[in-house]
Amino acid sequence: MYEGVRWWRRLWALLDEEPSTQLDDLARLWAVMAFEQGWLEDPENWDIDPDHIRKRQIWLEREAPRAVRESIPDWLDELGERELGAAWDSVLSSLNEKSVVDLRTNTLKGTREELQMRLREDDIETVPIEGVPTGLTLKVRKNVFATKAFQEGLFEVQDRASQLVAPLVNPQPGERVIDACAGAGGKTLHLGALMKNKGKVLSLDIHEWKLEELRKRARRDGVNIVETRVIESTKVIKRLAEGADRVLLDVPCSGLGVLRRNPDTKWKITPEELTSLRQTQAEILKSYSRMVKPGGTLVYATCSCLPSENQEQVESFLKDHGADWALIEQEIVRPDQGRGDGFFAARLERKRSTTI
């Protein structure tokens, strides 16, 4: 299913037909994909001429526009090239690769080595991820959610790049930390583990159902310093002004860095929606940054590859508020670097004498 969505445009180009969602046409599309992948030797029973498909494959590789070959909307291909230049070819190709399954060890309940041993009992082999102390990756994709290790809260499924964000926040035991766009709480749980369950992590989101899922996960993982709060109005943020030692803003974004896991995103997102997202990001950065105490830390993060959602947002913020904030470091992870999904994170420090 995912592969059909991922290669939707390319597969129809192989058939040399207009896209259709009729069941019979979708069945033929599956047959084309199976033939190209080598799962189906003879597609003629599906009313498909294999010689025609082979000729179209040659055309795709030699003459077809990149957007068709890599199966992406024209406008998104043009945007990627405009923002990433020569790197876009490699980035786009990597976004069409199958994703791996990475795990984050819950260090409140054990070590990475102990987790490996427990998973091996369920015939699940893993490999430590270099440069990510809590990370393991599965050698073979399996249903890890059915394991006792998962039910006991020994790990979370979390991409290796995503596991770099909470350490960049660098929360210390006893501090008050805010995860301001918490969602279902993957990074909240990581923050709590890094704090050794000492202090407070306040997790905010506009959706109560996501926070409910976070609370379930926190109970399973044994993270008991989490408090959740729904953002029902701007008053919630105003009341927390200068109330946090550290704030994480994992803001809403295009999700273009995680197309390997969510290939449908490239067909759903529109230029208008992307423009709206950029505006939302800028507003969140300006408004939510006020929750950081003077001398405190702010981390702005996205799962996008686009500089317009990442470096440029931080640059714009500092242009307006540079007297009060300093950029300490940035982490840019491209999906073609072997370090996981496309992610961005910037750590800023609020100066002790501020005016915002």
CB 182, CB 208: distance < 8 Å: no
- Of 96, 99, 108, 168, the residue nearest 132 (C-alpha): 168
* H helix runs in 143-207, sequence order: 148-151, 165-169, 186-194
- E strand intervals along the chain: 102-105, 126-128, 135-138, 155-157, 176-179, 200-205, 226-230, 244-250, 292-302, 325-333, 343-350
Q: What is the DSSP letter of 85?
A: G
Task: Please identify which of the residues 181, 253, 303, 305 carries the catalytic annotation.
Answer: 303
C-alpha separations of 102 from 61, 129, 142, 233, 245 in Å: 32, 9, 11, 36, 30
- Cα 9 to Cα 44: distance, rounded to the nearest angstrom: 21
How many Cα atoms are found within 13 Å in the side-chain-facing hemisphere of 21? Answer: 1
303 is catalytic: yes
In the chain, the amino acid numbered 282 is: A
Catalytic center residues: 303
